[in-house]
Structure 1
Amino acid sequence: MASLVSTGLWELSLLLLTTMQQDNVVPDLISFNTSISACAGSGNWQAALSLLQWLQASLLRQDHFTYSSVLRACESHGHWQVSISLLAGMLEDLADPQPMCYRSVISACEQSSNWEMALCLLELHEGDVMGYSAAISATAKAAKWRAALFLLGVGMQAAKVEPNSVTYNSAISACERCSQWQLALHLLAFLPAVSLQPTVVSFSSMTSALEKSGEWPLALQLLSEMPEKEVQPNVITYSSVIAACAGGSQWELALCVFSTILEQSLDADEISCNSAITACEKAGQWIRALNLLQGMSAMQLEPSVVSWSSTISACENAEQWQAAVALLHSMSCSRTEPNALTLNSVISACEKSSLWQKSLKLLFGMQEMGLEANGVTFNAAILACSRSRQWQQALRLFSDMQSSGVDPEPLTFSAMA
């Protein structure tokens, strides 16, 4: 039965236990533990919990392995309430729960971003480096960078626990989520001082922090320094640098970084492609955006609504309404449904060319699709009618706008003037 753990055949292990019971063979603790471990390895926390209850009903005494296996199953799904309850039961049944059990509960709190409970557990039990790393990761997911830095500095020092690269990476991630890029950069630079080497996760979190703060020159600099640190960038690192360049309107640099992904024989993903398309979108480089969109199929990637919408928006910015309409048609033929943002870009593209009839058709088609028109939609359609001196249509749209519960904006009144 032990071989079922490695193969992950938890269903078969349950069947064997049931068969034993039907044959009047009472399963022992080892049989239950093996089956629970198989369920935990497959991430089936409900089955693991049911087996624990079955074991208890059989008047068998569970051990550390029993609890740790069930806790491991709950940990991966972030069921911290169940984990806390199990830990409480473990404290009653067993005098001294093993550190790994506390780590599992802290990790469950981390998965659900329950950083307060993770800190409480650290106070209850003298945590190790893995426990602190999980707790810091919980604060990172909750965007509590001060708590993360307190744990890294004061908390771990008081507990005489040496941080590792995972601990620092979690703290850098906490700073990244809160746009505290200067602090994140300080942590990254401090790693060699504590005899630790930055990893690709360290750099990826750092470049993401720089991207969110619009610090594209620093993001590029860090990317160029990675080979010197003997760290190979991955797609996540490249994607954040591309996004940083896109945010800084540096479309040429963004495309240069994107081409590096292909040169390095890395598998570009949807995020990196969308970031490159967005860079082209903001610069009105509609042909390059279109090439990137079409190239996604060659990379075995399915364009998302973001991919299509950004490319259509690039056409809008370049006043290429024919291309925008053609892309909308192609999108409709694909498995991707357009959203309000997509239609707004096409309507705006038509508005810039004073195509009021096309704008109205798209607006009404949008409503037929069940998409809710917003201020951007109505303003673009009204402006298209006004430019073509279709005042009655503009007034009708203004009335529809109010009846739809959309408040007119200064741009609306300007278009009506």
Structure 2
Amino acid sequence: MAELLRNSLTIPGSSCGGGGGYSFPHYPTTTTFNFKTLVPSRRRLARINAQSSLVITSEDSKSGGLNHSSTELIKLHYLEERDEEILSRRILNLSRLNKVTSAVELYRSMQFSDLRPNSHACNSLIASLLRNQMLDSALTIFESMRTSDLISSHTCSLVLKAVSNARGFDAALHMFNDLESQVDVRKIFDPIVYNTMISVCSKSNKWVQAERIWRLVANSNTCIATSLTYRLLICTFVRCGQNELAIDAYEEMIRHKLDPTEDVMHAVIGACSREEGKWELGLNVFQRMLDDGMKPTIVDCNSLINALGKHGEVKRAFRIYQAMKSDVIGHKPDAYTWNGLLGGLYKANRHGEVIKLFQRIKDDEEEENNNNVINSHLYNTCLMSCQRLGLWDKSLQLLWEMETSGFQISTATYNLVIGACEVARKPKVALQVYERMMDQKCEPDMFTLSSMVRICVWGSMWIEVEQIIKSVVGSNNGDWSSLYNIAIQGVCLRGKSDMATKMYIKMRKSGLEPDGKTRALMLQILKDKTKLSEVVSSSSVS
């Protein structure tokens, strides 16, 4: 009898022990339980809990910004309820209420009792752990889900994003590669997982890894790239300066008949403006934005104008300018707009129109009392056209305007004015500009000095030539042999053989080497080769 009482118990349908006790309405009328078959038993659970080393760890960041680790012991519970769906709903509710410890204990108890929670409950539990900054515990749950074939694409996406935020890009990439290498896990990958990883790469500007994941999606038989995939790829490539890859991704997106979003079109227009020979695609994207009722930004318009101007498409550039001012777009031209238009006209060798357009911009600025449009770049573009046309007086006028307007005048600006004087054969004016440049403490460069030497030689200003060369040669700031070469060649062509010989000797004494043209001209002047060798030897000895 004692053995029977230890091993079995008969429970009537309405009472326990016939004394009007607790009722069990969900059991049959008479049920016999063998306590040895109830796994785990209460005694066994008590013994396991006493020896358990299962813990959950959290990072508490609410104490004045300091991190304090807290550890809670996870206990296993005896589960009278055996229905997996009911228990899964309990885990789901506990996770939503952020009762993390209770949810983890129930999850572990189900595992120990050989019960499987559903994937939705497991994902909710991992999300709750991540919300409470318990990444290590979440990874432990994730690993147990993986061994139990419970993980889904949503699970992988949650964990990859959390690992990236907590441990950095490299840890997330290592985990992704590990998961992707397992065939059974790779089968559950969907666009969400790949998009999550591309987003992780984008945040770290890792365009090489983003391209690799793109190729994985393209070669996958079970996954197709979505609009979000291409959006992430295009924006990442453009931000990292990989314009060709961005254009390839956009063209593949169009082939798959996916509609690009507005930010994708902005990025593609920028990529087309920077990539050689892609202005036609940029125009198509611009037109598509207008057809879809989108409003291109002023950056889009300026990028297209600049790209079209560089490729000599001046008419198309001005069409974009007209569309930009229209009521449909309604942008006001700024300095970048005018710089693109002036640069396009200059590229097309329409220098007179450059000067006219610049004058119109100045007049409009004066009428609107707006001083934010004209800048030194616009002045320099106009000065470049003046140099090509030899309009030295116009160049001087623009230089004076820049000085009176308070612009910081660079060496390049003075070079353009001196170049206009050189084209117009005005050596005295060029010398005055050079002296003004020196008075303003603006350091001349090789282009400045070369122009001054050429124009002074042409004007037979020999003293000035020697002074310019003497002021820089020997300063140890560079190789000034080109100045001597320019001077000697110019003097030879002017028939001043004695002066050319003196300059040649000074050049060799300074340790500078003449170029081939200088040697040839000196041979013509000094027809007696012996005399030339004497000159060279005497200069080398001295």
Instruction: Classify the TM-score, shorter chain.
Output: 0.5 to 0.7
Of 304, 310, 315, 1:212 maps to 310
Cα–Cα, structure 1 residues 117 and 62, in superposed 2: closer, same or farther, change >3 Å? same
CA distance in 2, matches of 1:368, 1:351: 21
Partner of 1:171: 268
SS in 2 for 1:293: helix
Shift of 1:315: 1.3
Of 516, 520, 526, 1:408 maps to 516
Q: Which has the larger radius of gyration?
A: 2
**Fraction of identical pairs, as percent:** 17
Of 219, 224, 236, 1:135 maps to 236
**Greater helix content:** 1
Shift of 1:236: 0.7
Partner of 1:367: 473
Amino acid aligned to 1:258? F
Of 166, 169, 174, 1:87 maps to 169
CA offsets per residue over residues 240-283 of structure 1, 9 Å max, x none?
21122223332332123223433142432222221111111111
Matches within 5 A, 1:101-250: 106=202, 109=205, 115-120=207-212, 127=228, 131-138=232-239, 141-142=241-242, 144-145=243-244, 147-155=245-253, 160=258, 162-164=260-262, 166-180=263-277, 181-228=279-326, 229-250=329-350
Q: Is the 8 A contact 1:185 1:206 kept in 2?
A: yes
Q: Is the 8 A contact 1:102 1:121 kept in 2?
A: yes
Larger RCO, structures 1/2 (Cα 8 Å, 6+ apart): 1
Partner of 2:445: 339
CA offsets per residue over residues 278-317 of structure 1, 9 Å max, x none?
1111111122122222222344321122111111111111
CA distance in 1, matches of 2:523, 2:470: 20
Q: Is the 8 A contact 2:387 2:416 kept in 1?
A: yes
Give the TM-score normalised by the residue count of structure 2. 0.52
Shift of 1:332: 1.8
CA distance in 2, matches of 1:291, 1:84: 62
Q: Is the 8 A contact 2:210 2:233 kept in 1?
A: no
**Greater strand content:** 2
CA distance in 2, matches of 1:217, 1:413: 49
CA distance in 2, matches of 1:396, 1:62: 85
Number of equivalenced pairs: 338
Give the TM-score normalised by the residue count of structure 1. 0.66
Q: Is the 8 A contact 1:91 1:97 kept in 2?
A: no
CA offsets per residue over residues 160-219 of structure 1, 9 Å max, x none?
56232x433433333333431344334333432444333322221122223322344443
CA offsets per residue over residues 383-416 of structure 1, 9 Å max, x none?
331244322442455573896356435x984697
CA distance in 2, matches of 1:163, 1:393: 71
Q: Is the 8 A contact 1:211 1:247 kept in 2?
A: yes
Partner of 1:315: 421
Shift of 1:158: 5.3
CA distance in 2, matches of 1:92, 1:232: 49
Amino acid aligned to 1:256? K
Matches within 5 A, 1:390-405: 390-395=496-501, 397=503, 400=507, 404=512
Cα–Cα, structure 1 residues 280 and 398, in superposed 2: closer, same or farther, change >3 Å? same
Aligned Cα RMSD in Å? 4.2
Q: Is the 8 A contact 1:137 1:170 kept in 2?
A: yes
Q: Is the 8 A contact 2:473 2:480 kept in 1?
A: yes
CA distance in 2, matches of 1:86, 1:310: 52
Cα–Cα, structure 1 residues 167 and 335, in superposed 2: closer, same or farther, change >3 Å? farther
SS in 2 for 1:337: coil
